[in-house]
Amino acid sequence: MAVEKAIRSILIDNATVKNLIADRAYPIVRREGSALPAIVYQQISGVRDHVFAGPSGFVEARFQVNCWAETYEEADTLADAVRVAMDAYHGTKESVVIQCIHLIDEGDMPVLSAENEELSFHGKRLDFMVWFNE
């Protein structure tokens, strides 16, 4: 779907985000052993609007953006940059007309090491509602 490319472009085209992650923005999962900090994004849900004649082309989708880093401070800094880049965004990106993006939830996502139950890296989760036209 083109909207995933648009989400990635919004993130990578933002100078602050790009400065923190370069091009390390991955769909669904982060590659094992890949450098941090990094972003992982995924669509959680999507509702397509319909009118009597059929689909209108308008979609309301929930996206989760996970920010991963070596330290909590780095994860928090990256999450702030992602929030600024995406919250209240509107415009056309990758040929997708985005009506609006709103941050609706956020939280911490610590990752424990299986061997010793110490934190192996830190994560912050941001959930956005994305309204766009297909």
Integer angstrom CA distances of residue 93 from 13, 89, 109: 10, 10, 29
Count of C-beta atoms within a 10 Å radius of residue 5: 14
Q: What one-character DSSP code corresponds to residue 31?
A: P
Give the tens place of pLDDT for each residue, 77-119: 999 999 999 999 999 999 999 999 999 999 998 776 666 566 5
Extents of the domains making up the chain: 2-133
Q: Are 101 and 64 in contact (CB under 8 A)?
A: no
Binning pLDDT at 50, 70 and 90, where does residue 57 land?
Answer: confident
Query: What is the model's pTM?
Result: 0.89
Query: Residues 8-56: pLDDT tens digits?
Result: 999 999 999 999 999 999 999 988 778 999 999 999 999 888 888 888 8
Predicted confidence at residue 87, as pLDDT, reads 98
Q: H/E element holding 30?
A: none
**Strand pairing category for 38-51 and 119-133:** unpaired
Average pLDDT on 118-131 reads: 88
What pLDDT does 115 receive?
64
C-alpha–C-alpha distance, residues 77 and 132, integer Å: 28
Rounded to the nearest 5 degrees, what angle is found at the Cα of 63, between the Cα atoms of 52 and 51? 5
Least Cα distance to 128 among 52, 46, 50, 16 occurs for 46
Question: Both tokens of residue 96?
Answer: 């997708």
Which class is domain 2-133?
A: alpha beta
* Interatomic CA distance for residues 110 and 37, integer angstroms: 14
